[in-house]
Amino acid sequence: MDTKKYEELQEIARQSRAWIIRALAEANSGHPGGSLSATDILTYLYFQAMNINPDNPSDPKRDRFVLCKGHGAPALYTSLALRGYFPKDELLTLRKLGSRLQGHPDTRKLPGIDASTGSLGQGLSIANGMALAGKLDDQSYTVYALLGDGETQEGQVWEALMTASHYQLNNVIAFLDYNHLQIDGRIEEVKSGGNFASRFRSFGWHVLEVNGHDFYAIDEAVIAAKQEKYAPSMIIAHTIKGKGVPFMEGKAKWHGKAPNKEEALEALKLLGASWEEI
Amino acid sequence: MLKKATRDAYGETLVELGHLYDNVIVLDADLSKSTKTELFAKEFPERFFQMGIAEQDMLATAAGLALCDKVCFVSTFAIFAAGRAFEQIRNSIAYPKLNVKICATHAGVTVGEDGGSHQAIEDIALMRAIPNMTVIVPADAIETAKALHAIYKHEGPVYFRLGRPAVPFIYNDDFEFKIGKANKLREGTDAAIIATGIMVACAIDAAKILADKGLNVQVWDMATIKPLDLEAIKEAAKTGAIVTAEEHSVIGGLGSAVAEASAEYAPAFMSFVGLKDCFGQSGTPEELLEAYNLTADNIAKTVLEVVDKKSSS
């Protein structure tokens, strides 16, 4: 990845974050912390890595993405809108009655959503199913997935980790959004995930660790993951919850609380954006 | 009497479907010998996925396959499908209305010796409550086979409830199955028995017992519990007395479904044969059916009680 691309992705991520803040403020509910920690990964996937076409969102050959941590939906919606899947203004209908932008992603409502998620722990299994179908059909697509760190407390995640390595699903590339925070506090206090890297490795995964806000590092990891011949890859992305909005960064209270108008204006200012501009 | 288990018919029909349609995929959770999916696994190893003892993972994996245009038939025991993986079925399969056919075997008390922990008696209630879900309980091996072809063609999730023991044949090869259409097996005007699954054969026997006592009793095979055949219920209600019979709790299953419809569209006196809010236990299937009053005799007795109520009203 060259500097130009890096800067382009940075600018898209900035805009994405601004839209996330504005949409959450309009919705008056939702999850800013985990949307902002995942924004750079999603920006990278939708503007660099994935073979997708917004004009043909159900192309069988396309790469897939499963947002296992479905509450990060605002980050997915802004990525899709900025990528051209639907008009940006629709982002302001987030969580409102009749909106295609449900509180958690709904594949039947919105083009570009590859799987309905929201109940934690189920997404990686869904991604595996897509990857199995890809192998059966001799398709070369990649299935990307993004898990929350707290989400790994769900036992099904470990069932799915076993399935992916058992079936040698090297077409699965998962990210762990390792921001260390969940609703009730630090993951280490709520229920420690221990050494994630060694746990994933012992489940037969190819494990990489990156700074989840560094596009160069994410890019290198994905390129390495794609060269893996047998094992599925887990990219542990070290992230900051609330990234990009300093007063939200590293604070569990911003997991599931939307900013009010005043807080949103302040956040937008910090992101170099304004309410009217977006 | 010639008998065959619905799970055996399931296993054989899966192979037929596999030959007919390339997009049929089968998943199992370490019970393929019992659920009979092993027949498909032998014929189409590349389209069979052994998921190990991980039902929640299995159901959500099937969702992923269905999102890539596969039609998945997923099997395990009813208790582990509808029970263990309830929320995966609800959120990952039914909510997005995916083509996952949950073919759960070993339903009800006729699981037998494994005991109450393994006997699903609430699965119909659980599955029926989920939007987008279709619920089908075949009465014999032929209905099982015919229903499976319809299930493949049906767009969306289906819960298909199968049993462990061999059950008598009710239908012949000419039988045509239609999802949502109840099948009237016997005419009658004094009362109606609406049964599902293995209780259909008992209902026919009950009607014979009652005929000897001078009562003409209608018998219905309500194989599709959701969507329910309202016309059948209206016709049954015309007798003024309905008894439902199911190898399931009387709470939330066929009886409840019929009572809901009857109360709203065609009131009749009703009574319910099924498990009376209790768990099963170990025993042979025959002993258990007897112990929990899932018999032709008890259906007949219950019909007489309801007919009495009707007459004295």
The tens digit of pLDDT for each residue in A52-83 reads: 999 999 999 999 999 999 999 999 999 999 99
Does B294 reside within a domain?
yes
Q: Under 8 Å CB-to-CB from B84, ≥6 apart: which residues?
A: B55, B56
Mean pLDDT of B209-226: 98
Query: Same domain for B102 and B190?
Result: no
- State the total domains in chain B: 2
Report the residue of B67, B97, B130 to disrupt the A interface, i.e. the one with the largest count of A CBs within 10 Å: B67
What's residue B1's pLDDT? 73
**Out of B55, B143, B246, B247, which one is annotated catalytic?**
B55
What's residue A199's pLDDT? 98
Does B177 reside within a domain?
no
**Hey, what are A263's tokens?**
């807080």
Query: Same domain for B80 and B228?
Result: no
| Residue B27 clears pLDDT 90, i.e. is over it | yes
Does B132 reside within a domain?
yes
Averaged pLDDT of chain B:
98
**Hey, what are B108's tokens?**
């009800």
Closest of B87, B57, B59, B86 to residue B73, by C-alpha = B59
Q: How far apart are CA A51 and CA A140, in angstroms?
A: 10
Cβ-based contacts under 8 A for chains A and B: 105
What's residue A278's pLDDT? 67
Nearest residue in chain B measured CA to CA from A141? B68
Over residues B270-294, the pLDDT tens digits come to: 999 999 999 999 999 999 999 999 9
Domain of residue B67, CATH code: 3.40.50.970
Averaged pLDDT of chain A:
97
B8: burial class by Cβ within 10 Å (0-12, 13-18, 19+)? Answer: middle
Task: Tell me if B174 sits within 8 A of B203, measured CB to CB.
Answer: no
pLDDT band at residue B195 using 50, 70 and 90 as cut-offs? very high
Query: Same domain for B42 and B115?
Result: yes
Q: How far is CA A259 from CA A122, A242, A275, in A?
A: 29, 12, 13
Helix, strand, or coil (residue A213): coil
Does B53 reside within a domain?
yes
Percent helix, strand and coil across chain B, each to the nearest 5: 45, 20, 35
Task: Tell me if A24 sits within 8 A of A74, measured CB to CB.
Answer: yes
Tell me which of B127, B144, B168 is where a domain ends.
B168
Query: Same domain for B156 and B247?
Result: no
Task: Tell me if A168 sits within 8 A of A89, measured CB to CB.
Answer: no
Tell me which of B126, B145, B168 is where a domain ends.
B168
Q: Tokens 């009465």 identify what position? A: B139
Mean pLDDT of A218-235: 98
Binary contact (B63, A125; C-beta < 8 A): yes
Query: Same domain for B127 and B34?
Result: yes
Range of the domain at B146: 3-168
Q: Chain B contact for A115, CB < 8 A?
A: yes
Does B232 reside within a domain?
yes
Q: How far apart are CA B21 and CA B35, in angstroms?
A: 21
CA distance A204 to chain B (A): 16
Binary contact (A159, B57; C-beta < 8 A): yes
Query: Same domain for B139 and B25?
Result: yes
- CATH numeric code, A3-270: 3.40.50.970
Q: Chain A contact for B61, CB < 8 A?
A: yes
Binary contact (A163, B57; C-beta < 8 A): yes
Does B174 reside within a domain?
no
Query: Same domain for B263 and B204?
Result: yes
Residue A209 CB-half CA count within 13 A? 8
Domain of residue B264, CATH code: 3.40.50.920
- Residues in B closer than 8 angstroms to A232, CB to CB, are none
Does B302 reside within a domain?
yes
Closest of A38, A30, A33 to residue A13, by C-alpha = A38
- A-facing residues of B in 19-38 (CB < 8 A) are 25
What's residue B313's pLDDT? 87
Binary contact (A106, B96; C-beta < 8 A): yes
CA distance A65 to chain B (A): 11
Q: Chain A contact for B66, CB < 8 A?
A: yes
Helix, strand, or coil (residue A116): coil
pLDDT band at residue A274 using 50, 70 and 90 as cut-offs? confident
Q: Tokens 């790469």 identify what position? A: A63
Mean pLDDT of A169-195: 96
- Residues in A closer than 8 angstroms to B89, CB to CB, are none
What secondary structure letter does DSSP report for A246? T
DSSP codes of every residue in A195-211: -HHHHHHHTT-EEEEEE
Closest of A134, A142, A115 to residue A126, by C-alpha = A115
- B-facing residues of A in 164-203 (CB < 8 A) are 166-167
Over residues A114-159, the pLDDT tens digits come to: 999 999 999 999 999 999 999 999 999 999 999 999 999 999 999 9
Tell me which of B117, B141, B168 is where a domain ends.
B168
Per-residue burial over A142-161, b = 16 or more CB atoms within 10 Å of its CB, e = otherwise: bbbbbbbbbbbbbebbbbbb
What's residue A275's pLDDT? 82
Query: Same domain for B156 and B34?
Result: yes
Q: How many CB atoms lie within 10 A of CB A34?
A: 30
B55 given a catalytic annotation: yes
Does B87 reside within a domain?
yes
CA distance B242 to chain A (A): 40
